[in-house]
Amino acid sequence: MAAITTQQATVDIEHFDLANPPLGFVSDPFPFYEALLSAARAMRQPDGSVLLCHHGDLDRVYRDTTLFSSDKKAAFGPKFGVGSPLFEHHTTSLVFSDPPLHTRVRRIMTSALTPRAIARMEPGLVNTVDHLLDEMAQNEQVDLIEDFAASIPIQIIGNLLDVPMEERGPLRDWSLAILGALEPSLSPQQLAVGQSAVNEFKDYLSDLIARRRAQPGDIESDVLTRLINGDGAEGQLSKIELIQNCIFILNAGHETTTNLIGNGLALLHDHPDQKERLLEQPDLIKPAIEEMLRFRSPNQLGNRETTAEVEIGGLTIAKGTNLHLVIGAANRDPKVFSSPEVFDISRSPNRHLAFAGGPHVCVGLTLARMEGKIAIGRLLERFPDYRILPGRVSGGRMRFRGYARLPAAL
């Protein structure tokens, strides 16, 4: 029997239940991942779903859109309630859709996130980061999440959709509430907050879209104007598709990038030898970002649904089965990564799955990498002796791994 002993208890890994995780898993899942990787490749869950942890299996699932669907109507109906605000959002947005909707929306987004377009964003990103660093320099103690990491993607994605600066205040809370509803299990309060957040976000975007239709933005840089215009007659999005994918852009670009920056700064602090290497060799910032993404992936879990009977790791899985893709475990698979438990900023190759893979690979991965590189690189350059103080608070989630608070002295 595969088991793991934690400070709290000895856990039977063969009966691991993601919907009812063992004590200690949310705060530190990595010892559990190691044990799961040593257990069966495909693990049946009590609710009939299946857990996949191995890099090769996730890579296969991501690449095969015929056998493995991203559509979540069947899974999210019981979870959110068919027709509810959360159901409407999470079954219409890019990440949980199949062609033809996925193809149409992704093509529009990709056309707005070309290398040239992203390069044009860099000066504004540098200015945003430097402004935040200037403000933090005036304080003896700061919160690297609230005062820094969380502020950067909100401004960048807000710029992409050309959301007026004075209207960006509620975006983060809406995003946290909506994405929080994707946790494997929810309290009634979490569900209610998520439903309300979708409604409030929809009301705001309906008004913003009406204003943008009346006064279109720059087609070269304004993603909202591009989404409104569509991609030819057959590429036009319905009102619901348009609203929900605007919500998706803000959500997807916000929490994951916040987590990348916060996790990266915490990892460098906790591994002073690697921090010193990066200070001595600033050119290592690119592989350092990739290692941060691998070692503490901002998004720890993904999902797919089987469209036909399939066999994985000796387990026959029926059509219509929900698959939990444990990205955080796959990124520590010893079959792919040498010494996976070691944080090595020069690791190469680094075939992590932090941005998923296949046709659904994160559309904003280049932008996220640039945000991480500039934010972490410039903070380290300006405050090489920053210290994280006692009192850090985990985000408390399984799917999205990051910090809610990260107190520091610069």
Instruction: Spell out the domain ranges in the chain.
Output: 29-37+48-409
Distances 287 to 292, 343, 407, 409 between C-alpha atoms, Å: 9, 11, 26, 26
CA–CA distances in Å: residue 336 to residues 115, 325, 352: 29, 16, 9
Cβ neighbours around 78 below 10 Å, total: 10
Architecture of domain 29-37+48-409: Orthogonal Bundle (1.10)
7-26 pLDDT per residue, tens: 544 567 888 999 999 999 99
| Statement: residue 355 has pLDDT above 90 | yes
What is the rounded distance in angstroms from the CA atom of residue 259 to the CA atom of residue 271? 18
- Residue 409 host element (H or E): strand 407-409
The answer to whether 16 touches 291, Cβ cutoff 8 Å, is no
What is the residue-wise DSSP string for 6-18? -SS-EEEGGG--T
User: Within the chain, what is the greatest distance between any pair of CA atoms?
Assistant: 64
- Total residue length of the chain: 410
This prediction's pTM: 0.91
- Asked if residues 295 and 343 have their Cβ atoms less than 8 Å apart, the reply is yes
What integer best gives the mean pLDDT of the chain? 91
Supply the pLDDT for residue 233.
46
**Which positions ≥6 away from 189 have C-beta within 8 Å?**
none
pLDDT in tens, 212-260: 999 998 877 788 888 888 755 455 778 888 888 888 888 878 889 999 9
pLDDT digits (tens, 9 = 90+) for 36-91: 999 889 999 999 999 999 999 999 999 999 999 999 888 899 999 999 999 999 88
Residue 368 buriedness (CB in 10 A; 0-12 / 13-18 / 19+): buried
